[in-house]
Amino acid sequence: MKKRTNLLALVLSITAITFALFGCSSDTGQKKSIAAPGSATEAGGGAESSGTGTDQISADESINEQVLVDQDGIKITATEYVTDSIWGDGIKLLVENNSAKDYTIGCDALIVNDYMITDLFSADVAAGKKSNEVMYLSSTELKAAGIDTVGQIEMYFHAYDSNWDNLFKNVYSKLETSEFANMDTTPNDEGQELYNANGVRIVGKTVDENSFWGTAILLYIENTSGQNVGINVDNMSINGYMMTPLFSTTVYDGKKSIDDITIMSSDLEANGITSVDQVELKFHIYNAESYDTIADSDAITFTAKKNN
């Protein structure tokens, strides 16, 4: 059972890294705007860029050295703000394991300028040893969120042993950069509102038929519900044909997210779909800790329109 769990974790980690690098739509080709059925005008957001280009965000940020975690023999210190030509911007970390056991240290959640961002960080540190690591901030997701300047980084750390037993989890730390005063937290929420209830707002932004995996439907999500929420998509169809979407996201209370619903090219090809015109789906919203259902939306229908 442990081997299966380890394999699943590895697969999920690889998938998360791949989506962080290639997700959130692409910069190639014309994107379609999302509109309500029968709408004569698009709901905006069609011209924005949200893709995988190699543009780097501002390199003006710096940080003061700061201890982020010092608990149960594990000490994590942020030492430097760095920029890599491939991976983008990140925080250099010194991870010290002063305990008697080997541990894997990672992140439960990473939040930049109030946006949920996929972290590219996992460190295996043997007992009594240290490791220099970098927690990279997905440049793709920063760009999709419209983040040009990183002002604040919030992190929730965990540590577990070889048996997947937690030493600790969800240990919170906040780091402010030299650009904190210049941080822009204006919501990147242009588009067609699809859902707004129970403290959760979901906006459809664009449909990209040339994304890395196939077709990507870009969403803006805002959570003011008073609880951390998870969101899945059920009963999705495109042009009347049922699809199997790749989408599951967690948005912490008071935070925002830019995320993709991905439909694989093979799924579209199997149904003879060459153009995404009409989409129908339901959102399943639940408490991210207890998994209790918060809401199951009614069927939501929208159209994808080419921009003039």
Please name the residue that has the structure tokens 């894997």.
Answer: 104
- pLDDT computed for residue 212 by the predictor: 85
Given a contact cutoff of 8 angstroms between Cβ atoms, the answer to whether 177 and 63 are in contact is yes
166 Rama class: left (phi>0) / alpha (psi -120 to 50) / beta: beta
Q: Is 199 helix (H, G, I), strand (E, B) or coil?
A: coil
What is the per-residue pLDDT across 100-146, written as a single tens digit (0 to 9) for each? 999 999 999 999 999 999 887 999 999 999 999 999 998 889 999 99
Average model confidence (pLDDT) for the chain? Answer: 86
Q: Which residues of the chain form CATH 2.60.40.2550?
A: 31-48+188-306, 66-182
Q: Would you say residue 162 has pLDDT above 80?
A: yes
pLDDT computed for residue 91 by the predictor: 96
Tell me which H or E stretch contains 247.
none
DSSP characters over 42-75: --S-TT---S---PPPPS------EEEEEETTEE
- The SS3 call for residue 269 is helix
Mean pLDDT of all residues in 175-182 = 95
Count CB atoms within 10 A of the CB of residue 86. Answer: 8
Q: Which fold has domain 66-182?
A: Immunoglobulin-like (2.60.40)
CA angle 116–121–123, rounded 5-degree value: 145
H or E segment at 198?
Answer: none
**Domain at 31-48+188-306: CATH code:** 2.60.40.2550
| Token pair 């250099």 in the structure block, residue | 92
Contacts of 180 (CB under 8 A, 6+ apart): 151, 152
